[in-house]
Copies of this chain bind each other. A is one copy, B any other.
């Protein structure tokens, strides 16, 4: 039995609140059950040095957790003086995923930074971050279109991300913390709306996983992403 009697193939209730804060060009609070992440998109009219003069833009991401977003307090990374390997790994994943939905040449020589800050953590913070950042990025792009900065829409499509895994021998969708910490296999999948994949990251925490288990997990991930795309479209339609 999963927590709250959730069916194996069902994501937690997902909620997307746009315009959550007032300064950012895109600002979204995304909730996957009790996991809450604030995703902002910030536009800057320049590009990193390695791209200067190449007629294309850039999309990057940073990730952080508030010290007490977790069950016991984590040390603040700015106080420690460095970001952990986990933080770096996650923000690189978010950035690659979001870049996949943008035509960087159509974006022109400007950068968009997605900041994903976890307000409350209950499993799946990286997949919630990608899901929310996608909507924040759309809002930022729409503002650039609306004020005439951009003539062509550089958005190639939405992206969504979900975690799937094997818990007590069963494949389940969208693991919350208690499931995640007991999972034998944990997999994060980032998808396009047409079902093709941008990222697949599967890790055997305990037992290695078989080809058949992998296929099961990919099937669950596809179902989960479809639920997410529906919520994203609904939010963007408001």
Query: Please, which residue of chain B has its CB at the minimum distance from the CB of A62?
Result: B76
Q: Determine the chain B residues whose CB is within 8 A of the CB of A84 once the complex forms.
A: 88
Determine if A49 is an interface residue (Cβ-Cβ < 8 Å): no
B85 touches A73 (CB 8 A): no
Determine if A197 is an interface residue (Cβ-Cβ < 8 Å): yes
What's the nearest-Cβ distance from chain B to residue A41, in Å? 8
Query: Among B22, B81, B120, B204, which residue has its beta carbon within 8 angstroms of that of A199?
Result: B204
Q: Determine the chain B residues whose CB is within 8 A of the CB of A113 once the complex forms.
A: 67, 73
What's the nearest-Cβ distance from chain B to residue A26, in Å? 9
- CB contact under 8 A between A197 and B218, given known A73-B44, A77-B78: no
**Contacts A40-B66, A62-B79, A78-B82 supplied; 17 other A-B pairs, CB < 8 Å:** A21-B69, A21-B119, A23-B72, A27-B68, A42-B72, A64-B78, A76-B115, A77-B78, A81-B82, A89-B89, A89-B92, A100-B204, A196-B208, A196-B210, A197-B209, A199-B204, A200-B201
What are 9 A-B residue pairs whose CB atoms fall within 8 Å in the complex?
A23-B69, A44-B73, A62-B67, A66-B115, A67-B113, A67-B115, A85-B85, A196-B208, A214-B218
B-binding residues in A (CB < 8 A): 21-24, 27, 34, 36, 38, 40, 42, 44, 62, 64, 66-73, 76-89, 91-92, 96, 100, 113, 115, 117, 119-121, 187, 191-192, 194-204, 207-211, 214, 218
